[in-house]
Amino acid sequence: MKLRVFASHDWGRGASTHARVRDAVAALRARDLDVWFDETHMTGNILDAMCAGIEDADVVVVFVTRNYMEKVEHGPDTDNVRREFMFAAARPEKLVAVRFDADLPPMWSGPVRMVLGSRLYVDLTTPELGTRDIDRLTAAIRNVVPSTPRPTWRRAPSQPGNVRTPLRARVDRIAAAIGDEHRPEIHVRDVVHALMRTLLGSAAVGDAPLCDMVARLEREVGVA
* C-beta separation of 187 from 175 below 8 A: no
Q: Which residue has the higher pLDDT, 122 or 218?
A: 122
Q: What is the mean pLDDT of residues 137-156?
A: 63
Is the pLDDT assigned to residue 147 strictly greater than 50? no
Q: Which residue has the higher pLDDT, 224 or 72?
A: 72
Q: How many CB atoms lie within 10 A of CB 90?
A: 11
Provide the pLDDT for residue 205.
Answer: 73
Residue 184 pLDDT grade (very low, low, confident, very high; cuts 50, 70, 90) = low
Provide the pLDDT for residue 136.
Answer: 95
Q: What is the mean pLDDT of residues 20-45?
A: 87
Q: Which residue has the higher pLDDT, 210 or 9?
A: 9
Q: Which CATH superfamily is domain 4-147 in?
A: Toll/interleukin-1 receptor homology (TIR) domain (3.40.50.10140)
- In single-letter form, the type of residue at position 30 comes to A
Residue 84 pLDDT grade (very low, low, confident, very high; cuts 50, 70, 90) = very high
**Using CA of residue 224, residue 92, residue 76, residue 8, what is the dihedral sign?**
negative
Q: What is the mean pLDDT of residues 176-190?
A: 71
Provide the pLDDT for residue 195.
Answer: 82
Read off the pTM: 0.66
Q: What is the mean pLDDT of residues 112-130?
A: 92
Provide the pLDDT for residue 68.
Answer: 97
Provide the pLDDT for residue 163.
Answer: 39
Is the pLDDT assigned to residue 102 strictly greater than 60? yes
Q: Which residue has the higher pLDDT, 97 or 44?
A: 97
Domain ranges in the chain are 4-147, 167-221
